[in-house]
Amino acid sequence: MTSTALSVKNLHKSFRGSLFESTKVAVNDVSFEVPLSKVTGFVGANGSGKTTSLKCILDFIKKDSGEVRFFGDQVLTPEVKKRIGFFPERPYLYEFLTAAELLKFHWDLAGGGSGHADAIDSVLKEVGLLEVRDRRLRTFSKGMLQRVGMAQAIINRPDLLILDEPMSGLDPDGRFLIKEIMRRLAASGTTLFFSSHLLHDLQELCDNLVIIDGGKILFQGPFNQLKESLSLNPLMNLEEAFQILRKKNQVQS
Ligand SMILES: Nc1ncnc2c1ncn2[C@@H]1O[C@H](COP(=O)(O)OP(=O)(O)OP(=O)(O)O)[C@@H](O)[C@H]1O
Ligand SMILES: [Mg+2]
């Protein structure tokens, strides 16, 4: 039995600049693993390469080089895609649809077949939006839209759920609700891999961290291991440890 939900080896992605700009290396020889049935945080400052890595991993944009494998040694076939859910950084939710209609659309996209009515109501209940299932999305608040985004990502009951900044822009109540949903999914065995620069949330939720800076991986492993490797006070929080790790890396490079 495999113990890896996602394995990334030597991933490289650069963007060609315009006429007077040089090529920008966004993801530089990135390798890491996401263990199965664990919560892994993808940690990095703005512009560090998180979204670009996720887009390459899911084949939304073409990588320059590198290897991406799912659930052991599988490439991203349609069958493997069915086992993965994705919450994008800026979810595009058709605002003229109702919550239930949007989820039906995603259910069909995922090849869900019959049984959609129960699946939609069950997922809406899970994210606390069952009462507003027939309201158009244009009347939803940012927090409600974020929860609809979460519902579309989990409607196919993925084994691996990848989320790009699921808590960004939310107030404390909104963040709490999203974190509750993530905790429940993790408790039921779903592997979570999510990017964030909200270090407090990451420290609270994650078993494991992948830290990226300037397109390069600085660390992967549990937070305690990071503190041990830097000989830090065991009570230090991720915010402080992250700054120390970045400074150490800047001095070395
Ligand atoms: N389509 C693109 N064309 C050119 N440069 C890009 C493109 N997409 C991303 N970049 C650059 O690649 C680098 C990494 O960007 P990316 O969006 O992956 O960072 P991020 O870690 O997701 O940041 P954030 O926390 O702000 O979401 C940045 O310097 C960004 O400007
Ligand atoms: Mg991003």
Q: What region does 71 belong to: left with phi over 0, alpha with psi -120 to 50, or beta?
A: left
Give the residue, by CA position, lying nearest to ligand 1 atom 1.
15
Give the residue, by CA position, lying nearest to ligand 1 atom 30.
47
Please report the domains of the chain, with CATH numbers, ordered by start residue: 1-83+160-221 (3.40.50.300), 94-157 (no CATH)
pLDDT beyond 80 at 252? no
4-13 tens-digit pLDDT: 999 999 999 9
| Residue 172 alpha carbon to ligand 2 centre in Å | 21
234-247 tens-digit pLDDT: 889 999 999 999 99
154-179 tens-digit pLDDT: 999 999 999 999 988 888 888 999 99
- For residue 239, what pLDDT is reported? 93
13-24 tens-digit pLDDT: 999 877 777 889
What residue type is 70 in one-letter code? F
> Which numbered atom of ligand 1 lies nearest the CA of 15?
4
Q: How many CB atoms lie within 10 A of CB 44?
A: 25
Give the residue, by CA position, lying nearest to ligand 1 atom 12.
26
Q: What region does 104 belong to: left with phi over 0, alpha with psi -120 to 50, or beta?
A: alpha
| Ligand 1 pocket check for 26: Cβ under 6 Å | yes
- For residue 71, what pLDDT is reported? 96
> Which numbered atom of ligand 1 lies nearest the CA of 54?
18
The Cα 112–Cα 238 span in angstroms is 40
The Cα 89–Cα 69 span in angstroms is 22
* Between residues 89 and 33, the one the model is more confident about: 33
- For residue 168, what pLDDT is reported? 86
Give the residue, by CA position, lying nearest to ligand 1 atom 16.
49
- For residue 86, what pLDDT is reported? 95
Ligand nearest to the CA of 53: 1
| Residue 53 alpha carbon to ligand 2 centre in Å | 9
90-144 tens-digit pLDDT: 878 888 999 999 999 988 887 777 778 899 999 999 999 999 999 999 999 988 9
* Average pLDDT score over residue span 38-57: 96
| Residue 184 alpha carbon to ligand 1 centre in Å | 31
- For residue 253, what pLDDT is reported? 67
